[in-house]
Structure 1
């Protein structure tokens, strides 16, 4: 990553629209730490298109002179300042700011928002290494600011080895045996194929197949996939494929799609965003094995990390995932 050269000058905060935000992404993609995928413009654009009707965009950019210190992709909803997105479809959030500029960034940001009469901030969920968590870890809230942080959930990630054999060897003996048994049993059921769709021409049909499998899954997952949510998945898939990030996988048995995994790759990490499968094939563990094959593909492609994202499901630990807390941060300015 290239450092932004320091320049003298007063810090100031300006407010930008979504087009400006997209331009900042294109212009400063390498120079700013866009580390959180859920605040990237490709993600924000898809979310705003489907869910943004009752919110007001509040994208704040803090500059020192002409140099950008950081970006706060925020919105106002029901009188509260939140990240531009929703925890229902965004696993965690963060600001776009380097650690060395965090102090002046947050001081300027909160002062500017306070001057506009904005007092309540619901900022989360966040990783423990999020910029604002680091800021409050180093600077105690003042008498004019209250900050409450609590754990909301967990996510799991896994540092990937160089080979599939190394991955299997790192599993516990019982888990390694079970995984091999399930793979063997699926192979005995017929011709197995695992394929990836990441081109725009094939995307519409592929997403429809993913959604159809979603409706054949657990009842709670089927209820989650409303018409509006399906539109979001379509918009998100297009947005991600245009950036070369989408990794949509299908597990097929005898030429029949039985499971799908919606992943995306960013900065050397594969993110497991969602999955769907035909409940009629549950006895063959197709839901689990489709995830396993997406993990194996990440190893084969030389990626360094696999992020299982939000949730403490047991299978994530069985596959070697390390649980990390997700934190909720509520800030009140007095």
Structure 2
């Protein structure tokens, strides 16, 4: 599309291709493309999969990359949302009747989100709606002005921890620009992420070869992308020790805080906090708008944020459905009450690095 430059990274082909390469096995791909004459105005890919026992074995149709994407918008030209999104909703409700449909993480107020809500209601779909937020830190003119937006306790602790680390060794933030260097660092990133969560007694997602494959595919496709939509992988070192790493992105002027990892041996020095502080300094020097902490209202995100993007997820079906009730309300309630027990680790397979 001629105005592709404005698309969010999560709506771009490189993102969706990486996800499909890693997770597409055993699933069906359905891609909707809308045209005005010979001109492409919208693309919206979906994944059709058979649910597991925890999904009551039903068929689920969801936007491609699902909840791996923190914003689930289609790629659609501005001004064409009502026509394109409405047509897609009507068709997939018909074609996937009997299935549960999932449209996660749509920014509230976006024309595509509003168009989808109207189309689903007009079609008489059974809809379950869940709200969530993406906290954001919007940069001011310089670091001092940005820092004044934070509570005194954060400013004080950030300076204290940075000073303690500098006493142990020189602090350095490195952002590799070459794909080969990023790929060479990923095994350390996976081990560091797993070590942190292993110490807390939780399952480690990077023991899953599909997850590691997804991150490698993202590095392959986005490490040397356009400046406005690209991978942003950063490494914080103290002397010769790597103490924190972050696998994120830049999209439309925002640094996206996607997956952090830190060295558990340095936990008492808050390496993640120092890492974010140094990314603020670097982001200001590069002219970025701010840091988007993406989905989740964790306290550590809220302490940095000056605003938020509100999002909504629609889980729906063309008619009454027990699976819809289970997936949209009963199971999330069980996870909220007992999720920490479910996440506790059992015998772990060998990590795929």
SS of the aligned residue for 2:79 comes to helix
Cα 1:311–1:243 change in 2 (3 A) is same
In structure 1, what is the equivalent of residue 104 of structure 2?
A: 124
Counterpart CA distance in 1 for 2:38 and 2:318 is 28
Any conservation in 2 of the 1:260–1:276 contact (CA below 8 Å)?
yes
1:79-122 per-residue CA deviation (whole Å, 9 max, x = no partner) reads 332111131x3223111224522222133223433554546421
Structure 1 SS opposite 2:133: strand
Alignment of 1:240-319 (within 5 A): 240-244=222-226, 245-319=230-304
- Pairwise CA distance, 1:138: 5.9
Q: In the alignment, which residue of structure 2 is the partner of 1:154?
A: 133
Query: Contact 1:39–1:73 at 8 Å: present in 2 too?
Result: no
Deviates more, 1:318-327 or 1:281-290: 318-327
Whole-angstrom distance in 2 between the partners of 1:264 and 1:294: 12
Deviates more, 1:133-142 or 1:198-207: 133-142
Decide whether aligned partners of structure 1 residues 158 and 63 sit closer, same or farther in structure 2, where only a CA change above 3 A counts. Answer: same
SS of residue matched to 1:330: strand
Q: How far apart are the structure 2 equivalents of 1:73 and 1:129?
A: 22
**Corresponding residue number in structure 2 for 1:25:** none
Structure 1 residue aligned with 2:323: none
Give, in angstroms, the shift of residue 66 of structure 1: 1.9
- Structure 1 gap ranges (5+): 1-27
* 1:175 positional shift: 2.2
Q: CA RMSD in A?
A: 2.4
Classify the secondary structure of the residue corresponding to 1:310.
coil
Range with greater deviation from structure 2 (51-60 or 219-228): 219-228
| 1:199 maps to 2:178 | yes
Cα distance in 2 for residues equivalent to 1:63 and 1:146: 29
Q: Give distance in 1, aligned partners of 2:160 and 2:298.
A: 21
Contact 1:124–1:328 under 8 Å retained in 2: yes
Take 1:122 and 1:159, find their aligned partners in 2: how far apart are those partners? 30
Cα displacement string for residues 259-279 of structure 1 (whole angstroms, at most 9, x for unaligned residues):
111121121111111111110
Q: CA deviation at 1:211?
A: 1.6
Deviates more, 1:35-44 or 1:138-147: 138-147
Which whole-Å CA distance do the structure 2 matches of 1:103 and 1:156 have between them?
Answer: 28
Q: Is 2:66 the partner of 1:81?
A: no
Deviates more, 1:113-122 or 1:279-288: 113-122
Aligned to 1:135: 115
Q: Which has the higher strand share?
A: 1
> Under a length normalisation based on structure 2, what TM-score does the superposition of the two structures give?
0.78
Question: Helix, strand or coil: the match of 1:271?
Answer: strand
Determine the C-alpha separation between the residues in 2 that align with 1:168 and 1:31.
35
Residue 114 and residue 65 in structure 1: after superposition, are their counterparts in 2 closer, same or farther (change >3 A)?
Answer: farther
- Count of aligned pairs between the two proteins: 304
> Does the CA contact (< 8 Å) of 2:82 and 2:111 recur in 1?
no
SS in 1 for 2:288: coil
Q: Which residue of 2 aligns with 1:16?
A: none
Q: 1:238 aligns with which of 220, 244, 247?
A: 220
Q: How far apart are 1:36 and its partner, in Å?
A: 3.0
SS at 2:71's partner residue? coil
Moved more, 119-128 or 32-41: 32-41
Change (3 A) 1:55 1:331: same
